Structure 1
Amino acid sequence: MHRLRALAATVSLGILSIGAPTPIRAEPMPDIIYPETRRDDIVEDHFGEKVADPYRWLEADVRGAPDVADWVARENAVTESYLADLPQRARFEERIRAFMDFERFGLPVKAGKRYFYTRNTGLQPQAQLFVRHGLDGEPRLLLDPNAWAKDGATALDAWEPSDKGHYLLYSVQDGGSDWRILRVLDVKTGEPLADEIRWAKFTGLAWVGKEGFLYSRFPESEEGAAFQSLNYNQAVYFHRLGTAQTEDELVYTTPDHPDYGHTAQVTQDGRIAVITSHVGTDARYEVRAIDLAHRKRDGWKTQVLVTGFTDDWKLVEGSGQNLWYVTNKDAPRYRLVSIDLSARAPDWTELVAERDDILERAGIVGDRLVLNYMRDAASHAEIIGLDGSPGRTLTLSGIGTASGFRGRPGDPETFYAFSSFNCPAAIYRLDLSTGQSKPFAQPSLCYDPDAYLVEQRFYQSKDGTRVPMFIVRSKAVAKAGKAVPTLLYGYGGFDVSLTPSFSATRMAWLEAGGAFALANLRGGGEYGREWHDAGRRENKQNVFDDFIAASEYLIDEGIAKKDGLAIQGGSNGGLLVGAVVNQRPDLFAAAVAQVGVMDMLRFDRFTAGRYWVDDYGHPDREEDFRILRAYSPYHNIRDGADYPAILVTTADTDDRVVPGHSFKYAAALQAADLGDKPHLIRIETRAGHGSGKPTDKAIEEGADILAFVAQWTGLALPDDVKDVHKNKD
């Protein structure tokens, strides 16, 4: 067992403001003793290299493995005790709660004369779903997920009203799992129908008139294997309202290719169903269309539109026999095309050519196309004619992210949300005829967004590549010009673009005087296909180099304290954190690795892990193995090096990145000689990869993370706070 000496400080409570900090008073705490973890003698030969895996037993599902459950309980006891005594833990929880306590609305969806939208009063565990008859109608509560489970961990996931809004199809997520249960509600009466669908995962919700809907599901898992077994043989089914799931019609499947996945969409006019097939996580698809007008005659007969799994195809909308798509075929930064399915030889017609900016998505509203572009990871929008004729630019409020723009042909309006690092999402109604935007729902805040500075800077990576990074600080901190404790976030993978977004946890960090930075690393989608390809498979080291270069830039520019830089990332970003800590442990004061992919030699053996070979490669192929072995966080911990303080977080119901990754990584950290800083694991119960987490759990996790990072980066409390322990009595 390894012991570490932690520093204690008095816990304080008061109004946090930017001012002269009070140094944390270091006082000794009792030694922290990590729980004993069994080591097994598992050594395997991989292409002539002997690789040990002593903690493989921790891969077992907690629910059926008493020894793993016992290890989890002992690790949590140590971690909870440590975090509870951190000097800023209570204050951060209070401030995160305050920053989260505002009325939040989701984007409205119009169906007939009804408007559907979600709303959270502020601190409710889950958002509720409301409906209005007419835009100014009285809101009526349709679904309240807060009544579904005592712990608030059962969430409303996706939802879709039928064409005229008579029915609502919705999916239920329990305990953070990726599995979904589909149910149907009669909107007029508010009463649930008897219909229930199980074993749905990674599914769309697509109505076929009022008679039923299309969905995707996997075969039922073997008993006890639902949270770990690999997902194969996904198929699209049609469910007719009022019937049992056993009577559902098989619409599309590929039994000769069990690794293919399939999702279904239906155009707003109900004429065409589109089946999109994929192999992995890469945005490379095959597309087929079904003419629903001829379904009684032809059944679920498909018309092939795209084959080969070579390019991205995003359905914009359809009208009659015409479909519009955003694609990167022959256009790495995307273009807009259309196709007429009724033509003798249907072919793609370009409407909007590729530009320097990334065309993220598009929507048809009324008789216009709304194009959503991204420039240097920030949004701007444009309205044009259906034939591609020039229109006008939609002005947005500074650096931020615009989303939404959903609608249908004939609608006079659409809704969109705009958010940034210093301001949560506000919802706007856009009148297509005038181009004017008016607020539909704006948050009432407990702080002044203008007190915070959002910048975008560019830095050079190791190979000279120019990489963008957002930096957020209070204007008072920026004006003072002094380096401060800084939290750097990254992801860098799977074609995912990190754009400005609001976080109550980040705001609590900024309010306390820290800086926040977000680096747009290669591997993401910020600059299209080339940017993604430059950070995956044999190029994965570029992502780590980009993140290390971002860290060095923040220190060299006097933004981050040299001994006060912390890094954070989740999922693929958790892998990022684990890899760069191994490569440059000297650079960081603290690291937070959340739900990370930590064993790069076995990631493809669990649940959705097999999809990730597009970004990572195949562990069972020697060329890929050599690359993966070189950076796998679990396998490259540097015994004898001085490591930063590390907090690993995961959850027992994470069936995306199974918690065994984090369990094994944390056990290996604790077994190695890495210096005196803590290397702890926080394991949430009744939670998954992140989505559906109730508000209280999100607040508690955020407070734990910030208190841990503050302790090891030297973020000190202002002078005007009081000792919370002294006030307890």
Structure 2
Amino acid sequence: MTRMTASPGADHAWFVHTDFLHAPAVHRFDLAERGTEPLAPAEGDGRRTGTGPAVRQVTYASGDGTEVPMYLILPPGAEQGPRPTILHAYGGFGASAAPGYGTSLMAWVRAGGIYAIAGVRGGGEKGAAWHAAGSGANKPNAFTDFSAAARWLTGQGWTTPSQLAIRGASHSGLTVAAALTRDPSQYAAAVCSDALTDMARYPRFGIGTWWLREFGDPDNPEDIDTLLGYSPYHNVVPGTFYPAVLVTSPRHDARVGDEHTRKKSGSLPLQGEGPLSLRRTGAGRQPAYPKEISTPGNCSLRWRSSSSRPAPGGAWPTSHPGYTPRVPSKWSGRRRTKPPRRGSWRSPTRTTEPAAT
């Protein structure tokens, strides 16, 4: 539930609701009746009639016994497996995997597949302590939780290693790349987009210097061993069979740095036997600047906005990374005017002499 708004003194409010099975829709809350109703029927997949996909929230034990939450979005009638399954997790910067409608997700589920979203440590699913348990020196816990989710899905019979694919972008792309090198036999395919892969040099690419608190400093002897322990680029093992991998990246990524993707895709073909494809897309993403947001549970978490522009009517202060000094030009200090149009009051219409008769 987002974007709640109400007029001062009004007895009703408006908000937007979405979940895994229904697209975002505006609802009206009536204070007198203590009830809500949508402005229009929500577009979805029959959850309320019991004929569409279903959502289950489960927990599983990680490698150190920590209970980790996970969503399972199941196709209609899927009481047992095994089925083709996609596993996803973010696990960074305190961001929570909140339920939300996705067309690609629903297309997969309608086709008979299972979509699993694990709330691994490093995210904000259980507050600031959950984030701290998967950041900095504790970052490997996020990857341990992800691997445990894959083992739980196969152990419970929902899927098999030959039917399990993993998918992620940006930080979740790092999660996928780390899982790919840690336990390649556990997966049949992987989609890795815009991911960090060289954790020994990530501050030199994109805006990596802003992420030292999340991952650690490679120039710090206390952090470099942890970073090299899970850095996907440094953990490709010669002679290992890796599953099919699709690596995608924009031609220029100002946030993560497209160098990560090229280095990872360059290392795998020499070491693996599975098919690998590198796809480079449009111009790329803009840098994301830090801001504070509030998440459910009254937990304030640091996150990053996708906008690279200042607030409306404002400008970046000179100390902000987004500030660009103004370069004087030949027009500086001059008033630019357009030449007057013919026939305007500035330029009377030219008259011609009548033709001689």
Fold equivalence (TM over 0.5): yes
Deviation at 1:536, TM superposition (A): 0.8
CA separation of 1:539/1:408 partners in 2, compared to 1, >3 Å: closer, same or farther?
A: farther
The equivalent of 2:315 in structure 1 is none
The equivalent of 1:474 in structure 2 is 75
Unaligned runs of 5+ in 2: 288-305, 308-357
| Alpha-carbon distance in 2 for matches of 1:653, 1:413 | 47
TM-score, normalised by the number of residues in structure 1: 0.38
In the alignment, is the contact (CA less than 8 A) between 2:254 and 2:284 conserved in 1?
no
**Is 2:139 aligned against 1:545?**
no
**Is 2:43 aligned against 1:438?**
no
Deviation at 1:433, TM superposition (A): 4.8
| Alpha-carbon distance in 1 for matches of 2:12, 2:271 | 61
| Alpha-carbon distance in 1 for matches of 2:192, 2:28 | 39
| Alpha-carbon distance in 2 for matches of 1:623, 1:507 | 44
The equivalent of 2:348 in structure 1 is none
TM-score, normalised by the number of residues in structure 2: 0.75
* Structure with the higher strand share, 1 or 2: 1
Once the two structures are aligned, what percentage of the paired residues are identical?
Answer: 37
**Is 2:280 aligned against 1:683?**
yes
Given residue 180 of structure 2, which amino acid in structure 1 is its aligned partner?
A: V
**Is 2:112 aligned against 1:513?**
yes
The 3-state SS of whatever aligns with 1:683 is strand
Deviation at 1:438, TM superposition (A): 2.5
The equivalent of 1:284 in structure 2 is none
The equivalent of 1:662 in structure 2 is 261
In the alignment, is the contact (CA less than 8 A) between 1:570 and 1:593 conserved in 2?
yes
CA separation of 1:686/1:432 partners in 2, compared to 1, >3 Å: closer, same or farther?
A: farther
1:307-341 Cα deviation digits (max 9, x unpaired):
xxxxxxxxxxxxxxxxxxxxxxxxxxxxxxxxxxx
The equivalent of 1:453 in structure 2 is 54
Deviation at 1:434, TM superposition (A): 4.3
The equivalent of 1:297 in structure 2 is none
**Is 2:207 aligned against 1:608?**
yes
| Alpha-carbon distance in 2 for matches of 1:608, 1:553 | 35
The 3-state SS of whatever aligns with 1:430 is strand
5 Å matches for 1:313-712?
A: 402-407=1-6, 409-444=8-43, 447-449=45-47, 450-476=51-77, 478-479=78-79, 481-670=80-269, 672-675=270-273, 677-688=274-285
1:275-300 Cα deviation digits (max 9, x unpaired):
xxxxxxxxxxxxxxxxxxxxxxxxxx
Deviation at 1:605, TM superposition (A): 2.3
| Alpha-carbon distance in 2 for matches of 1:411, 1:605 | 53
| Alpha-carbon distance in 2 for matches of 1:632, 1:540 | 11
| Alpha-carbon distance in 2 for matches of 1:684, 1:615 | 27
In the alignment, is the contact (CA less than 8 A) between 2:53 and 2:110 conserved in 1?
no
1:619-662 Cα deviation digits (max 9, x unpaired):
11111111111111111111211111111111124321121111
| Alpha-carbon distance in 2 for matches of 1:603, 1:442 | 46
In the alignment, is the contact (CA less than 8 A) between 1:650 and 1:689 conserved in 2?
no
The 3-state SS of whatever aligns with 1:538 is helix
Deviation at 1:412, TM superposition (A): 4.4
Q: Number of aligned pairs?
A: 286
In the alignment, is the contact (CA less than 8 A) between 1:425 and 1:442 conserved in 2?
no
| Alpha-carbon distance in 2 for matches of 1:570, 1:678 | 20
Given residue 243 of structure 2, which amino acid in structure 1 is its aligned partner?
A: P
The 3-state SS of whatever aligns with 1:686 is coil
1:343-366 Cα deviation digits (max 9, x unpaired):
xxxxxxxxxxxxxxxxxxxxxxxx
1:34-54 Cα deviation digits (max 9, x unpaired):
xxxxxxxxxxxxxxxxxxxxx
The 3-state SS of whatever aligns with 1:487 is strand
| Alpha-carbon distance in 2 for matches of 1:487, 1:589 | 10
In the alignment, is the contact (CA less than 8 A) between 1:427 and 1:442 conserved in 2?
no
Deviation at 1:594, TM superposition (A): 1.2
Given residue 205 of structure 2, which amino acid in structure 1 is its aligned partner?
A: F
The 3-state SS of whatever aligns with 2:84 is strand
The equivalent of 1:712 in structure 2 is none
The 3-state SS of whatever aligns with 1:551 is helix
5 Å matches for 1:201-240?
A: none
In the alignment, is the contact (CA less than 8 A) between 2:23 and 2:43 conserved in 1?
no
CA-based RMSD of the aligned residues comes to 2.0
| Alpha-carbon distance in 1 for matches of 2:40, 2:278 | 39
Deviation at 1:465, TM superposition (A): 0.3
Deviation at 1:504, TM superposition (A): 0.8
Unaligned runs of 5+ in 1: 1-401, 693-729
| Alpha-carbon distance in 1 for matches of 2:5, 2:193 | 32
| Alpha-carbon distance in 2 for matches of 1:613, 1:498 | 23
In the alignment, is the contact (CA less than 8 A) between 1:567 and 1:592 conserved in 2?
yes
In the alignment, is the contact (CA less than 8 A) between 1:648 and 1:680 conserved in 2?
yes
| Alpha-carbon distance in 2 for matches of 1:581, 1:403 | 35
The equivalent of 2:328 in structure 1 is none
In the alignment, is the contact (CA less than 8 A) between 2:123 and 2:131 conserved in 1?
yes
In the alignment, is the contact (CA less than 8 A) between 2:253 and 2:283 conserved in 1?
no
| Alpha-carbon distance in 2 for matches of 1:440, 1:458 | 35
| Alpha-carbon distance in 2 for matches of 1:656, 1:408 | 39
Deviation at 1:688, TM superposition (A): 2.7
| Alpha-carbon distance in 2 for matches of 1:550, 1:406 | 38
